[in-house]
Amino acid sequence: MGKPIGPGNRPLTAPGTMSAPFHPTSVAVREGLALSATTHGQSVEPAVLLISGAEEPSARWPSALIDRLCQHVGAVVTYDQRDVGGSGSVAETYALDDLVDDALAVLDHVDSTAVHVVGRGMGGMISQLLALRHPTRVRSLTLLSTTAGVNEASEQPAPWLVDRMAERLFGDPPSTPIERVQAIVEQQQWFRGNRFDFDLDRELDAAAREVAASSWPPDHVPGHGRAVVDAEPRHAQLSELTTPTLIVHGTDDPVYPPSHAFVLHELIPNSDVELVEGLGHELPVGFVDQFVGLLETFIKKTESRPSA
């Protein structure tokens, strides 16, 4: 069994309280770059690939979500994007296109012909490009809290959030594990909506475990933000997307206001949109049951369609 290759070369730890069996491995993307990936559940089709948001290790996916998908859909594949968690990185600047290649490398490694892809935030952007470039590898697409890209017509993030993110960007990065934990939880508080409870003790504990398991030092800043900012908007391409798509978005998302979901819906021909009252730019435990219900219904509907 492989282990993740990163600066600390640490082995993976057990993912919380998951009941589904899990199988960690190391995915060689190119010379000098390997990603930490995990297959949850039995190796049965159809598999589900979860693609995390910017600067988020795969451990942020709620264990209840993974367990439910394993029980009702099939195996679930998660991985740490380059630059976070147990995955390595490269010295040079990389683009969103490179992160799409990483996702494809994970699919090739787990030997899955086609999967149901769920992408959140930046992971939703990667998912769009993966489906556009490799349509035979994506059975369905679920886009959570994401965007087609930002242009002059796009609704901007909440002004108060822009100010806080700018302060963080130009301030000193966390220098200790405790400061890193505090930064993670603070950002989660910024992103939350007004519907779901925020359990501060639980989030602090989860962030502490995340930092302890990471191969990276507390002051490490992944290149994800630059990859997102530098990426070209996908508006023109998305009209060519033929993959069945479910768009799930919160009414309280301060990063990508709800108009971004409706833009995606207008652009993607075979898409449905589900607006969730009170949800922010988050995936809280209290939303898992509703989200899994949406996923199960959508995936079953997709699987029941006759092949083209």
CA 255 vs CA 178, 214, 252: distances in Å: 26, 25, 9
Q: CB of 174 within 8 A of CB of 219?
A: yes
Average pLDDT, the chain: 90
Give 143's contacts (C-beta < 8 A, 6+ positions apart): 119, 124, 127, 128, 245, 246, 247, 248, 264
Q: In the prediction, which pLDDT does 156 show?
A: 94
Check whether 134 has a pLDDT greater than 80: yes
Q: CB of 288 within 8 A of CB of 62?
A: yes
Average the pLDDT over 218-237 and give the result.
94
**How many angstroms separate the CA atoms of 220 and 126, rounded?**
22
Q: In the prediction, which pLDDT does 179 show?
A: 96
Share of the chain above pLDDT 70, in %: 92
Check whether 54 has a pLDDT greater than 80: yes
Check whether 9 has a pLDDT greater than 70: no
Q: In the prediction, which pLDDT does 72 show?
A: 87
Could you report the per-residue pLDDT of 172-187, keeping only the tens digit for each?
999 999 999 999 999 9
**5 or 230: which carries more pLDDT confidence?**
230
Average the pLDDT over 243-259 and give the result.
98
Q: In the prediction, which pLDDT does 162 show?
A: 95
pLDDT tier for residue 1 given thresholds of 50, 70 and 90: very low
Average the pLDDT over 157-171 and give the result.
93
**7 or 160: which carries more pLDDT confidence?**
160
Q: In the prediction, which pLDDT does 106 show?
A: 96
**How many angstroms separate the CA atoms of 193 and 186, rounded?**
14
Could you report the per-residue pLDDT of 77-124, keeping only the tens digit for each?
999 999 999 999 988 899 999 999 999 999 999 888 899 999 999 999
Give 172's contacts (C-beta < 8 A, 6+ positions apart): none
What is the homologous superfamily of the domain 22-303 according to CATH? Alpha/Beta hydrolase fold, catalytic domain (3.40.50.1820)
pLDDT tier for residue 306 given thresholds of 50, 70 and 90: low
* Annotated domain spans of the chain: 22-303
Least confident of 9-18, 217-226, 286-295: 9-18
* 134 secondary structure, DSSP code: -
**Residue for token pair 């796009």:** 154
Check whether 285 has a pLDDT greater than 60: yes
Q: In the prediction, which pLDDT does 296 show?
A: 94
Check whether 5 has a pLDDT greater than 50: no
